[in-house]
Amino acid sequence: MATPAARLFSKLDGLFAVYKPQGVHWKHVRDTVETNLLKVLNSCPAAPQRSVVHFQLLPSGDCSGSNQLTVTKSNLPALSDHPLVTGPRFYKIRVGVGHRLDAFSSGVLVLGLGNGNTALESLYRLHVTREYTLEGEFGIATDDFTHTGRVIERSTSDHVTTDKLERVLAMIQGANQKALIMYSQVDLSTQEAYELAVKGLLRPQDKSPPILTGLRCLHFKPPRFTLEVQCVNETQRFLRKLVHEVGLELRTNAVCTKVRRTRDGPFKMEDALTHHHWSADDIIPAIANFRHTTRKIRKNDIYRQAVKPSNSTTQTPGQSETSLLESVNQDKAESLQSPSAEHLLTPSNSNVL
């Protein structure tokens, strides 16, 4: 018969999402979840300790026989099963971490327990899109693209308008859309490619540099602005540098003040557990809610590997993070020929994006 601890441990198998606060390292989140789960598992009632059987020789005066043995069963527990001897029953739980967030960033962080660690690998190979909210401020440039870095330049930003900002964002998104089509490894002349493009389901098939699948401005009140970004294979440094490059294209500077992930594939912000809910009582229901999603992730990964196209792209996938931003320079000569747009580009920064 399974013990309460064993039954509880069997339920800790799957994927769930937590909310990582800003200023906290992802390792601290993982270790905190593991510690909370170990406390609950080791506090469960243990199995009854075994009884000890003693073999005793009767005293010579109690029986006429001189060498008789009597088998007696003692009710004392075996000391080898005592908790002070065996120690904690559970001392390690493998908590896997999905696409990580650095200390500066916050938002949805996917974790895996048990077989959920293999599902995390499947989620990574599917190249799911992730959604971020970026907050920035014009007029400042720092060495690490954040507002807490060392200031290296200041500039004016009174000339920046909403129309100019949206025009630059559209230019960047257009260049990334071309890269997405290239790395998706689909024949553009087929019906399949058309249906995937209409539904917005084009994804890179292999390793690729960071690609933006969506980019728009949510709020602009000079000098502060907020962007919504959908992307694949990104890093948080790439996103902060994106804010910096947007400022350069607008003939000013910009720093990133906040990076928050609002969605990681099927895991949304409303599904993430806050710090006060990183306990077994809340994690087990969260795993159960995403059990169907976890199975679907595994099936999609198996199907993708089975039908993976054999042809490879002509461009090497090991391209740097900034290469796609640099490709915007080619689009400028094609799409930004009007006098109203030419003043956004200067020789000093025309090859940055």
Domain boundaries, the chain: 1-45+91-128+271-318, 52-83, 129-264+322-353
Whether pLDDT at 335 is above 70:
no
Q: Which residue has the higher pLDDT, 328 or 169?
A: 169
Whether pLDDT at 25 is above 80:
yes
Cβ-contact 122, 298 below 8 angstroms: yes
pLDDT per residue as tens digits for the range 129-160: 999 999 999 999 999 999 999 999 999 999 99
At residue 308, the pLDDT reads: 63
At residue 125, the pLDDT reads: 86
At residue 347, the pLDDT reads: 35
Cβ-contact 93, 38 below 8 angstroms: yes
Highest-pLDDT range among 53-57, 179-183, 187-191: 179-183
Active-site residue list: 102
Read off the pLDDT of each residue in 205-216 and give the average, rounded to a whole number: 87
Read off the pLDDT of each residue in 53-58 and give the average, rounded to a whole number: 59
pLDDT per residue as tens digits for the range 300-330: 888 777 766 544 444 444 444 444 445 444 5
* Overall pTM surpassing 0.85 (yes/no): no
Smallest CA-to-CA distance from 139 within 247, 257, 249 is with 247
At residue 181, the pLDDT reads: 76
Which amino acid is it at 136? G
Candidates 3.30.70.3190, 3.10.20.30, 3.40.50.620, 3.30.70.890; CATH matching 129-264+322-353: 3.30.70.3190
Whether pLDDT at 72 is above 50:
yes
DSSP secondary structure letters along 216-284: EEEEEETTEEEEEEEEES--HHHHHHHHHHHHHHTTS-EEEEEEEEEEETTEEGGG-B-GGG-SHHHHH
- Binning the chain into helix, strand and coil, the percentages to the nearest 5 are 40, 25, 35
Read off the pLDDT of each residue in 23-45 and give the average, rounded to a whole number: 94
Cβ-contact 261, 105 below 8 angstroms: yes
Cis peptide before 223 (omega within 30 of 0): yes
At residue 309, the pLDDT reads: 52
Whether pLDDT at 68 is above 70:
no
Coil vs helix vs strand at 72: strand
At residue 240, the pLDDT reads: 97
Read off the pLDDT of each residue in 69-74 and give the average, rounded to a whole number: 56
Region at 14 (left for phi over 0; alpha for psi -120 to 50; beta for the rest): left
- Place 239 in a pLDDT band, splitting at 50, 70 and 90: very high
Window from 54-63, 75-84, 140-149 with minimum mean pLDDT? 54-63
Coil vs helix vs strand at 39: helix
